[in-house]
């Protein structure tokens, strides 16, 4: 816990008084008077404070955590001796007493360090809230800085573990990885994790792709740009030595130009080298159109390039909120995917007894997904599944009436 140093307060408000309670003060307490009234009376009689009104003094006095604990212990001892109480009865009586009249223990929402009392003058009372606000603002800045530093230094595994509560394949992968001591926690590239999971099955690899796509779109600056040749399997670092090629039989392939020169890659219609140096899909889309490639091949190679760090893609371009229904009248799943909605539907269908139907999808991020979950909370069943209430169905119908990717007004 972060403490507030008395010196910080003194520096901000010079006319603040600090008071140290002598050790022998606790030996001469009035058993018929609360510890806090005794304290305020002593402060006034000794002319340690300029204020004589106890109520006002209470509002102007702050105690360090150490001093407040000592005062509270002394008050508990006084009550125990006077009323012969102990245990729960003693705790109850202490709470019934005027403990709330004691010095305040938090300044700017933080406990005070040291072993002193801090007393503001009556003229300084108006400054307390101002200084507290400044301290709180500085604390928020420090917290934000810590968060930024943590985010900047976090790797894929740390991001993945933070998604354990998700009710989707990424969440399942996160939970499995968190409990797996051998999971490559320091992996800096998708390929390192893929090799570890390649014997875990198709679903694990699909979940990894979804997770890495989302991670790379959110933190594109952390992705190390690497690729591997589909012919020789060697790593490609220099973009000027790599090509994207197309065949009717195998779709798009990434090939090192040495493989092409040796003829190992066969005969391809290829894309010029410029593409691998660009940061968007403009050239590739033109190339894919000329090849008359279907959408499945196009999406597969695009995801691969994003995962490998060759192309940055904004989340809004691919992330979707989908509405998938179980059967024709069953519950509706409202979920998020960073890649293909069709592929997400296919993954969900695996192991699901009823035929799943994609009702509609819209562009959106995690924030929108949470907003929709809150909006339809009254019809929530479990996880991301909701009762097919007329309100949800009407919402879906309104989306269908609009251009795909827009969010209806509600």
Distance CA 89, CA 154 (A): 50
Distance (Å) of CA 107 to CA 3, 63, 65, 142: 9, 9, 11, 17
Helix, strand, coil % (nearest 5) of the chain? 50, 15, 35
**Residue 238 confidence (pLDDT):** 63
Distance CA 297, CA 251 (A): 6
Identify which of 402, 375, 398 has the alpha carbon closest to the alpha carbon of residue 386.
Answer: 375
**Residue 275 confidence (pLDDT):** 47
Q: Which tokens hold the place of 71?
A: 């005062």
Residues 261-280 have pLDDT tens digits of 766 545 554 444 444 555 56
Distance CA 403, CA 290 (A): 27
Q: What is the DSSP string of 343-392?
A: HHHHHHHTT-SSPEEEEEEEE--HHHHHHHHHHTGGGEEETTEE---HHH
**Residue 68 confidence (pLDDT):** 87
Q: Which tokens hold the place of 394?
A: 């009407």
Half-sphere exposure of 384 (CA within 13 A, CB side): 23
| Residues 6+ positions from 241 with CB-CB distance below 8 Å | 256, 257, 258
**Residue 271 confidence (pLDDT):** 42
Distance (Å) of CA 133 to CA 60, 110, 127, 128, 298: 17, 12, 10, 9, 54
User: In the β-sheet with 17-19, what is the strand arrangement from edge to edge?
Assistant: 17-19, 117-119, 61-63
- Please name each of the domains of the chain with its CATH number: 6-133 (no CATH), 156-222 (1.10.150.260), 227-307 (no CATH), 316-401 (3.40.1440)
**Residue 258 confidence (pLDDT):** 76
Q: What is the DSSP string of 278-295?
A: -SSSHHHHHHHHHHT--H
Distance CA 242, CA 229 (A): 8
DSSP 3-state of 118: strand
| Residues 6+ positions from 61 with CB-CB distance below 8 Å | 40, 103, 104, 117, 118, 119, 120
Going residue by residue through the chain, which has 410 residues, state the pLDDT in tens, using 9 for 90 and above: 567 788 877 777 777 888 899 888 888 888 888 888 888 888 888 888 877 676 678 778 888 888 888 888 888 888 888 888 888 888 777 776 655 677 888 877 778 888 888 888 765 555 566 566 656 666 665 655 554 444 444 688 888 888 887 777 888 898 899 888 899 988 888 888 988 998 888 888 888 988 888 887 777 777 777 778 877 777 776 655 677 777 777 778 888 777 777 665 455 544 444 445 555 677 777 777 887 888 778 878 887 887 787 776 543 355 789 999 999 899 999 998 877 788 788 878 877 888 999 999 888 877 888 889 999 999 999 888 999 999 999 999 888 876 544 445 44
Distance CA 105, CA 94 (A): 17
**Residue 386 confidence (pLDDT):** 93
Half-sphere exposure of 175 (CA within 13 A, CB side): 8
Residues 101-126 have pLDDT tens digits of 778 888 777 788 888 888 887 655 55
Q: Which tokens hold the place of 388?
A: 């097919």
Distance CA 341, CA 363 (A): 11
201 backbone φψ class: left, alpha, beta (φ>0; ψ -120 to 50): left
């Amino acid at each position: 816990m972060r403490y507030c140093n008395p010196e910080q307060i003194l520096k901000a408000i010079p006319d603040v008084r600090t008071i140290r309670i002598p050790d022998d003060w606790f030996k001469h307490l009035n058993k018929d008077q609360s510890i806090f009234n005794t304290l305020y009376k002593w402060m006034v009689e000794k002319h340690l404070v300029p204020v004589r009104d106890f109520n006002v003094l209470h509002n102007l006095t702050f105690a360090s955590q150490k001093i407040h604990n000592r005062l509270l212990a002394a008050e508990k001892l006084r009550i125990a001796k006077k009323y012969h109480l102990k245990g729960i009865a003693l705790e109850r009586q202490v709470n019934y007493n005027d403990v709330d009249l004691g010095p305040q223990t938090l300044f700017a929402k933080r406990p005070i360090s040291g072993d002193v009392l801090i007393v503001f003058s009556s003229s300084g009372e108006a400054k307390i809230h101002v200084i507290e606000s400044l301290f709180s603002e500085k604390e928020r800045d420090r917290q934000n800085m810590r968060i930024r530093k943590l985010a900047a230094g976090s790797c894929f595994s740390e991001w993945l573990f933070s998604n354990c509560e998700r009710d989707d394949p990424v969440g399942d992968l996160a939970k499995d990885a968190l409990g797996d001591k051998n999971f490559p926690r320091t992996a800096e590239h998708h390929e390192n994790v893929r090799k570890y999971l390649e014997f875990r099955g198709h679903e694990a690899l699909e979940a990894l792709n979804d997770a890495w796509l989302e991670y790379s779109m959110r933190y594109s600056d952390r992705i190390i740009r690497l690729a591997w040749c589909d012919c020789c399997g060697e790593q490609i670092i220099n973009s000027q030595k790599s090509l994207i090629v197309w065949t009717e039989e195998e779709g798009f392939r990434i090939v090192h130009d040495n493989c092409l020169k040796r003829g190992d890659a066969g005969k391809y219609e290829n894309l010029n080298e410029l593409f691998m140096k660009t940061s968007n899909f403009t050239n590739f889309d033109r190339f894919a159109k000329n090849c008359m490639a279907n959408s499945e091949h196009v999406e597969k190679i695009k995801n691969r390039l994003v995962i490998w760090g060759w192309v940055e893609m904004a989340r809004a371009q691919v992330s979707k909120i989908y509405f998938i229904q179980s059967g024709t009248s069953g519950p509706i799943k409202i979920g998020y995917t960073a890649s293909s909605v069709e592929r997400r539907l296919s993954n969900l269908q695996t192991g699901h007894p009823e035929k799943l139907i994609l009702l509609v999808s819209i562009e959106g991020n995690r924030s929108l997904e949470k907003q929709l979950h809150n909006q339809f909370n009254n019809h929530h069943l479990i996880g991301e599944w909701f009762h097919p209430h007329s309100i949800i169905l009407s919402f879906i119908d309104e989306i269908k009436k609009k251009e795909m990717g827009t969010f209806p007004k509600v």
